[in-house]
Structure 1
């Protein structure tokens, strides 16, 4: 019973997080790829096999070379309402990592979140909706290793259809996965929030560095 209650509370927190990161002061509209639309990879282009999960280590930096993203990672917890805190608006070019969840490279789905913009300028994940399957995400970790992930799915999830279990849950058992999340859709001035979330999913396909090893 206690396990079930804890899981329910965690999902509630994740659902609130999904709503929280779409609430922002921006006056414009965020990039979008469609309504709950997955962006497919070119026909016949296979994705690489999954790499064995790594020993746990905390993230320090995240890079998406194809999008020109290179940002420090800051650990984030839950706020007073039970939702995961995104980075503060004073840190628009930092990426938040849910520090009590999975460490990137370890088995499970590690959760990263970043703002799409502020009231005056684009933020770290402004171009995230332009990501495509097959592109690379690199996470530098505190043990000196670099975990390399391959994007396999890009979706824009409307707020009213946000399902925490689907968005944050592990897609395949025994695999190290990554979720990168920001605002999407358009900015609803009446609600003071964006209408959707951009959700980029990736999985571990390689590693480098002196401490890169499987478990």
Structure 2
């Protein structure tokens, strides 16, 4: 269920705010330690208020390939969702949250620049808005992603890291497990996390009630 465009209160509570962002900081700290110490179309649903997709039983997914050298991302494409957007590096704000792209550029994806570059060993973290006060944003249809879908990340050296989605989950803010979401699923593997808002929009808090997390791993 979604709130019609233009009826939501103004503010910056649409990505991942409050308690969720505090947990995110903890997750990023754990992720950073593991990385330093060793392997470690608008017809789609807007807010991710769907059952978690997970990995289908018996689904044949391609094998992971060896990680690539670390190179910053430049653009992301998810052909099955019609997503094609520039990627910009973002840092942490004063509250310890990853700064999402400005609302003035709602079709830009933010990459946690102090973390793992997409294609390198470890989990790379990309975030995007689901909507603005008036219209859908870059990750509006992210909750419609399915295991087996391809995600392509063009990097600043011209190389393209191809990922395969292997998991799609919706995490309520009250049960957000930062270690599970942001930690590596398999050691030595190049992984990707795509995150946006999910659930329903809570007018009282000015934030969504959940997060959509799409996980993928390097296959080409």
Same fold (TM > 0.5): yes
How far 1:57 moved relative to its partner?
A: 0.3
Residue equivalent to 1:156: 170
Partner residue of 2:66? Answer: 52
Change (3 A) 1:190 1:15: farther
1:101 Cα deviation after fit? 0.1
The aligned counterpart of 1:23 is none
Match of 1:32 among 28, 37, 49: 49
Kept in 1: contact 2:27–2:182 (CA 8 A)? no
Contact 1:180 1:200 in 2 (8 A): yes
Aligned equivalent of 1:165, options 171, 179, 182: 179
Q: Does 1:98 align with 2:115?
A: no
Q: Secondary structure at the match of 1:157?
A: strand
Work out which of the residue numbers 83, 88, 91 in structure 2 matches 1:77: 91
Which residue of 1 is the match for residue 17 of structure 2? none
Indicate the RMSD between aligned Cα atoms, in angstroms.
Answer: 1.7
Structure 1: any 5+ residue segments left out of the alignment?
Answer: 1-9, 17-28, 207-215
Confirm or deny: 8 A CA contact 2:124 2:191 kept in the other structure: yes
Q: What do residues 121-163 of structure 1 show as CA deviations (whole Å, max 9, x unaligned)?
A: 0000000000000000000001110000000000000000111
TM-score (norm 1): 0.81
- Structure 2 residue aligned with 1:13: 25
Q: Are residues 47 and 185 of structure 1, via their aligned partners in 2, closer, same or farther at CA, if it must alter by over 3 Å?
A: same
How far apart in 2 are the matches of 1:188 and 1:102?
32
1:125 corresponds to: 139
User: Which of 178, 181, 184 is the aligned partner of 2:192?
Assistant: 178
CA deviation string 1:160-183 (max 9, x = no partner):
011111111110001000000000
The offset of 1:200, in angstroms, is: 0.1
Task: Report the alpha carbon displacement of residue 11 of structure 1 after superposing the two structures with TM.
Answer: 6.0
